[in-house]
Amino acid sequence: LFAAVDMAPRDPILGLNEQFNADPNPAKVNLGVGVYFDDNGKLPLLNCVQAAEHQLVDAHKPRGYLPIDGIAAYDKAVQGLVFGADSEILKAGRVATVQALGGTGGLKIGADFLKKLRPTAKVLISDPSWENHRALFTSAGFPVESYPYYDAEKRGVRFDDMLGALQAAPAGTIVVLHACCHNPTGYEITPAQWTRVVEVLKARALIPFLDMAYQGFGEGIAEDGAVIQQFVASGMDFFVSTSFSKSFSLYGERVGALSVVCTSKDEAAKVLSQLKIVIRTNYSNPPTHGAQVVATVLETPALRKMWEEELAGMRQRIKQMRTLLIDKLAAAGVQQDFSFIRSQVGMFSYSGLSTEQMQRLRSEFGVYGVDSGRICVAALNTRNIDYVAASIAKVL
């Protein structure tokens, strides 16, 4: 049966992790994966999460199956976070939200639903994008192409080219957009540019799919979510996937969601019923723990305040690391201007280093980043940054 099965290629980023773990170099630094570490290089367990978990343990609740669309209080809390608690479209019942297995699960439920709804559509993702976007929509059966995004020369976004590609896309094309903190480049478009994107998507009758994996890691929870309001104001129907992996440091709990904004309450009810079929036929219903933790934190004012402060702490530490890296590179004698690192937003930086330089960083110094030049700024800390800066200086 399995004689003809080929060995699949390793996941490029998770493969890097394996290589890192096997590296005996005591000075090694892992800037490959998209995970936030604290200044001690440890994966944080947020205080708000610990407090919610204590509450949940004390309650000793039984573990029945959840509804197919997840915990109702969780879905409601997600909606409040994404659309604003006073949102008119929420009051009007126009949003269908389901709990999902991380942001990936939200994307996949949306992709499978869209495949039934628009079987001949194509999908556009940014060039470059989170690698799983292409793989996920391809495996859902869509042809996946890209729209221009990263401008290596100007160190920013090829906005006119991006807009041109959207203008040229056939009606009904699904357009995946990073709502904030673009992965992998760290470059975002401005609110005014978002306005143009929204106009073109609407005029061309394209289907927006916003991927919100880093809300709160850019400028703030509301600031990072502001783009959603532009889409709401446009009156378009659209998709939003949410991930709490990073913002709650709950990676392994697989906590995410999918929200679909519809034209009416009646439509939203029908869409929800279809999303439930996608879920039922994939994994029946979602797990309890992580979503219960997130719902408890978001709904308990004291815990929510704690979360907002802890999230702000992570956001600010990343920003400090950006500035510190620029300073340390200069101190290590690097002539090249790296100030662009400060203009990037979120966990990642496209460092501008070549594949060859990234490979040398790995083999000679044990500093692991992605061949594309992407480094995870959220994995830098005051202990490893001198070594990282000195290593980069040597390969430049």
- The angle, 0 to 180 degrees and rounded to 10, between the axes of the packed helices 289-299 and 47-59 is 110
Of positions 75, 188, 211, 310, contacts ligand PMP by CB under 6 A: 211
Nearest residue (CB) to ligand PMP, 75 versus 211: 211
Nearest residue (CB) to ligand PMP, 350 versus 365: 350
265 flagged as catalytic? no
Contact, 283 vs 66, CB < 8 A? no
Asked if residue 225 binds ligand PMP (CB under 6 A), the reply is no
Q: Catalytic residue among 194, 246, 307, 328, which?
A: 246
270 flagged as catalytic? no
Nearest residue (CB) to ligand PMP, 241 versus 351: 241
Q: How far apart are CA 209 and CA 109, in angstroms?
A: 12
Closest CA to 209 of 114, 350, 340: 114
In whole angstroms, the minimum distance from the beta carbon of 95 to ligand PMP comes to 20
Asked if residue 32 binds ligand PMP (CB under 6 A), the reply is no
Strand partners, 99: 257
Strand partners, 177: 210
Asked if residue 216 binds ligand PMP (CB under 6 A), the reply is no
* Two structure tokens written together for 7: 């060995």
For ligand PMP, which residue has the nearest CB? 102
In whole angstroms, the minimum distance from the beta carbon of 301 to ligand PMP comes to 26
Site for ligand PMP in 103-142 (CB under 6 A): 103-104, 130
Site for ligand PMP in 56-95 (CB under 6 A): none
Asked if residue 286 binds ligand PMP (CB under 6 A), the reply is no
Asked if residue 372 binds ligand PMP (CB under 6 A), the reply is no
- The angle, 0 to 180 degrees and rounded to 10, between the axes of the packed helices 131-139 and 102-117 is 40
Asked if residue 249 binds ligand PMP (CB under 6 A), the reply is no
Asked if residue 173 binds ligand PMP (CB under 6 A), the reply is no
Handedness of CA 96, 99, 102, 108 (dihedral sign): negative
Q: CA distances (Å), 307 to each of 6, 304, 319, 322, in order?
A: 45, 5, 18, 23
In whole angstroms, the minimum distance from the beta carbon of 42 to ligand PMP comes to 19
Q: Is 212 left (phi over 0), alpha (psi -120 to 50) or beta?
A: beta
Nearest residue (CB) to ligand PMP, 213 versus 388: 213
SS3 7: coil
**Span of 101-109, 120-128, 134-142, 220-228 interacting with ligand PMP by CB under 6 A:** 101-109
**Span of 98-106, 186-194, 271-279, 313-321 interacting with ligand PMP by CB under 6 A:** 98-106
In whole angstroms, the minimum distance from the beta carbon of 325 to ligand PMP comes to 21
Of positions 20, 29, 31, 34, contacts ligand PMP by CB under 6 A: 34
In whole angstroms, the minimum distance from the beta carbon of 134 to ligand PMP comes to 12
Asked if residue 213 binds ligand PMP (CB under 6 A), the reply is yes
Beta strands of the chain (E only): which ranges? 29-30, 95-101, 123-127, 144-148, 150-151, 156-157, 174-178, 207-212, 238-243, 255-261, 348-350, 367-368, 374-376
Of positions 216, 256, 286, 290, contacts ligand PMP by CB under 6 A: 256
Nearest residue (CB) to ligand PMP, 79 versus 357: 79
Q: Catalytic residue among 75, 108, 115, 130, which?
A: 130
CB atoms near residue 270 (< 10 Å): 13
Cα-based torsion angle of the residue sequence 138, 214, 206, 78 in order, rounded to the nearest 10 degrees: 100
Amino acid in the structure at residue 193: Q
Contact, 286 vs 256, CB < 8 A? no
- What are the helix (H) ranges across 169-260? 191-203, 221-234
Per-residue x/- track, 182-201, ligand PMP (CB under 6 A): -x------------------
In whole angstroms, the minimum distance from the beta carbon of 353 to ligand PMP comes to 20
194 flagged as catalytic? no
Burial status of residue 252 (CB atoms within 10 A of its CB: 0-12, 13-18, 19 or more) = exposed
- Contacts by 71-74 with C-beta closer than 8 Å and gap 24+? 71/99, 71/288, 71/291, 71/292, 71/295, 73/295, 73/299, 74/99, 74/257, 74/291, 74/292, 74/294, 74/295
Nearest residue (CB) to ligand PMP, 102 versus 369: 102
Residues at the interface with ligand PMP (CB under 6 A)? 34, 102-104, 130, 178, 183, 211, 213, 243, 245, 256
Positions marked catalytic: 130, 211, 246
